[in-house]
Amino acid sequence: MFSRNHRSRVTVARGSALEMEFKRGRFRLSVFSDPPEDTELQRKLDHEIRMREGACKLLAACSQREQALEATKSLLVCNSRILSYMGELQRRKEAQVLGKTGRRPSDSGPPAERSPCRGRVCISDIRIPLMWKDTEYFKNKGDLHRWAVFLLLQLGEQIQDTEMVLVDRTLTDISFQNNVLFSEAGPDFELRLELYGACVEEEGALAGAPKRLATKLSSSLGRSSGKRVRASLDSAGSSGSSPILLPTPAVGGPRYHLLAHTTLTLAAVQNGFRTHDLTLAGHEESPAWLPLYGSVCCRLAAQPFCMTQPTAGGTLRVQVSPFLLSLPTHICRSPGFLLQETRVRAGELEQAAGRPFTLSISNRYGDDEVTHTLQAESREALHNWMEALWQLFFDMSQWKHCCDEVMKIESPTPRKPPQALAKQGSLYHEMAIEPLDDIAAVTDILAQREGPRLETPPPWLAMFTDQPALPNPCSPASVAPASAWTHPLPWGRPRTFSLDAVPPDHPLGASRSVAPLPSQRSSRSRGLYNKGPLRTWLQSPV
């Protein structure tokens, strides 16, 4: 995760303002006043830092391997994001300091640099084939060796992750159900995929008693992590440039290893499935080695904004042939339209007597050249139309085949909670951990605590020990991580999934109460009474 090839490497010069801020425990680059985009990035960075604190504590409190795997994954994603945002902030600050500002305003003429429009990039239906060899069957003496894997995806400074998936030798592919959307990508985007894996079975010594550990970590995390950061800063200063390593509490917990990676660009975009090469990291003797075939299959779609958002409006009177009002995109999507063969000319007043402010678009359709003449309302409107058309043509030249047709992109569905593991039975039967929700809640609660670190175990710790479930199951409405918890919640949301709720075709004892248990039902109506579309109306003789 902290490889030196990571794009978001942050270098901190000794004695720099950034180092000073860092030492004080504040990652705020607020030497100059921040433009709005930087404020937004700063806010995201602060959020990730809080999430990270929560993830550390959650990890320390885990008593079971599977919980620890999820918590470690969350922690690693937080770490990656923190590094990425810090790198981006530093880059912007450097650009600002060096005086690179935006385009100089000009009253007339086209802008000096034309930048292409942004777009949405969505990767979905990711499938990574595996290639098990016969030796795999003999290696483990009948035990099913399992791995926990997930993908980290980075585009620009945005990092997203897939859900964690369990893999064993009965699977032929690793499949991820998520579709991951990046909302502001340029045509020169680089989407980096990294596949991380960890062994599900314990590698070595077990962690100590959760309670003791949590107490130790809660009380000492601040000081020790601060010490380590300072130490790494000192070494960074002396060696010149090395990345800041945010400390990870490696207390016998699972370790994820980079298994493979690849980078996808505009050329890889296609409105359908495509197979790309994966660069494998490591070899057979590497930890958590998985026999990857070496490819990744996915659908990488791109929707440039020039195809989906109106950039110009108004009225254009059509002289020659009928057109829709959404003129530019209509023209450009006509069959036979060739960008290179298009010429746009503004009509001069004297040329077209009685037809001022005209605009003609010529295009070659096969052997014919067709010219469409359009009339704008005013000179200013004409200018705007010309500008819009030039921008459109430029965007299309940059986004290339993404402008041939609008690729369908579905909004990512909300992340499902981690599934119960069949091997262990109902792991999540007693409690459900939705890492994003819960870590946010933990961190928010922690953030509200001021003053010294807590010496006594926090109340939520009871969730991970053998103490009885806490009262007051909260309704599991989806909580946005940024929302503030204004009232103190009894931390502990033993949401019981009705995993052992008996479906209708199972025999039920007469004594069993049949009324649905309200505390066990989620707002999504899980359970036996709403199993999807009901098609039958059975009749039975008695």
Cβ proximity to another protein, 263 vs 520, nearer residue: 520
339 three-state secondary structure:
helix
Q: How far is the CB of 506 from another protein (least distance, A)?
A: 8
Binding mask 212-251 for another protein (x = CB under 8 A): ----------------------------------------
Question: In the bound complex, what is the minimum distance in angstroms from residue 501's beta carbon to another protein?
Answer: 12
Residues 271-300 touching another protein, rule: CB under 8 A, are none
Q: Which is nearer to another protein, 267 or 508 (CB)?
A: 508
Q: Residue 357 half-sphere exposure, CB side, CA atoms within 13 Å? A: 15
Q: How far is the CB of 516 from another protein (least distance, A)?
A: 9
Alpha carbon distance, N-terminus to C-terminus of the chain = 65
For another protein, the closer of residues 324 and 534 by Cβ is 534
**Which residue lies nearer to another protein by CB, 273 or 529?**
529
Please say which residue, 20 or 517, places its beta carbon nearer to another protein: 517
Which of 104, 283, 487, 535 binds another protein (CB under 8 A)? It is 535
- Pair 68, 62: CB distance under 8 Å: yes
Quick note: the x/- pattern for another protein over 323-362, rule CB under 8 A, is ----------------------------------------
| CB of 240 or CB of 507, closer to another protein | 507
Question: For residue 351, what are the CA distances in angstroms to 298, 346, 355, 386?
Answer: 54, 10, 9, 18
Helix pair angle (65-97, 435-448), 10° resolution: 70
Tell me the residue type at 134: D
Q: Which of 235, 530 has the CB closer to another protein?
A: 530
Question: For the chain, how many residues are written?
Answer: 542
Tell me the C-alpha distance between 81 and 248, whole Å. 14
Least distance (Å) between residue 527 CB and another protein: 11
Are 130 and 143 within 8 A, CB to CB? no
Least distance (Å) between residue 502 CB and another protein: 10
- d(Cα 16, Cα 463) in Å, to the nearest integer? 43
Q: Which CB atom, from 104 or from 512, has the smaller least distance to another protein?
A: 512
- Select 480 or 538, whichever has its Cβ closest to another protein: 538
Question: Structure tokens of 474?
Answer: 């909260």
Other Cβ atoms closer than 10 A to 487: 5
> What's the min distance (Å) between Cβ of 505 and another protein?
7
Q: Which is nearer to another protein, 36 or 509 (by Cβ)? A: 509
Q: Decide if residue 542 touches another protein (CB under 8 A).
A: yes
- Where would I find the beta strands (DSSP E) of 57-185? 119-129, 147-155, 158-161, 165-167, 173-176, 180-185
CB atoms within 10 A of CB 127: 16
Nearest distance, CB of residue 500 and another protein, angstroms: 16
56-95 positions binding another protein, by CB under 8 A: none
Given a contact cutoff of 8 angstroms between Cβ atoms, the answer to whether 316 and 341 are in contact is no
The side-by-side arrangement of strands in the sheet containing 317-318 is 317-318, 368-375, 358-365, 343-346
* Residue 524 CB, nearest approach to another protein (Å): 18
Give the ranges where 354-434 is alpha helix by DSSP (H): 379-399
Alpha carbon 351 to its chain's center: 55
Write out the binding residues for another protein, residues 359-418 only, by CB under 8 A: none
C-alpha triplet 475, 420, 289: angle, nearest 5°: 135
Tokens 């917990």 belong to which residue? 253
Q: Among 374, 301, 364, which Cα is nearest to 335's?
A: 364
CA distance 177 to 216: 38
Q: What residues from 446 to 505 belong to the interface with another protein (CB under 8 A)? A: 504-505
Minimum distance, C-beta of residue 417 to another protein, in the bound complex (Å)? 25
Site for another protein in 495-534 (CB under 8 A): 504-505, 507-508, 510, 514-515, 528-529, 531, 534
Q: Which residue's CB is nearer to another protein, number 142 or number 541?
A: 541
φ/ψ of 128, rounded to 5, equals -120, 110
Q: Which is nearer to another protein, 104 or 506 (CB)?
A: 506
Instruction: At 144, list the tokens.
Output: 């099913």
Closest contact distance (angstroms) between CB of 403 and another protein is 47
Nearer to another protein, 238 or 540 (CB): 540
Least distance CB 511 / another protein (angstroms): 11
Report, in Å, the least distance between residue 526 CB and another protein: 15
Nearer to another protein (CB atom), residue 320 or residue 528: 528
**Number of residues forming the site for another protein (CB under 8 A):** 19
In order, the DSSP letters of 265-333 are -GGG--SSEEEEE-EEPS-TTSTT---B-SEEEEEEEEEEHHHHS----S--EESSS---SSHHHHHHH
Q: How far is the CB of 509 from another protein (least distance, A)?
A: 9
- Burial of 340-349, coded b for 16+ CB within 10 Å and e otherwise, reads eebeeeebee
- Tell me the closest approach of the beta carbon of residue 532 to another protein, in angstroms: 11
- Residues forming the site for another protein (CB under 8 A): 504-505, 507-508, 510, 514-515, 528-529, 531, 534-542
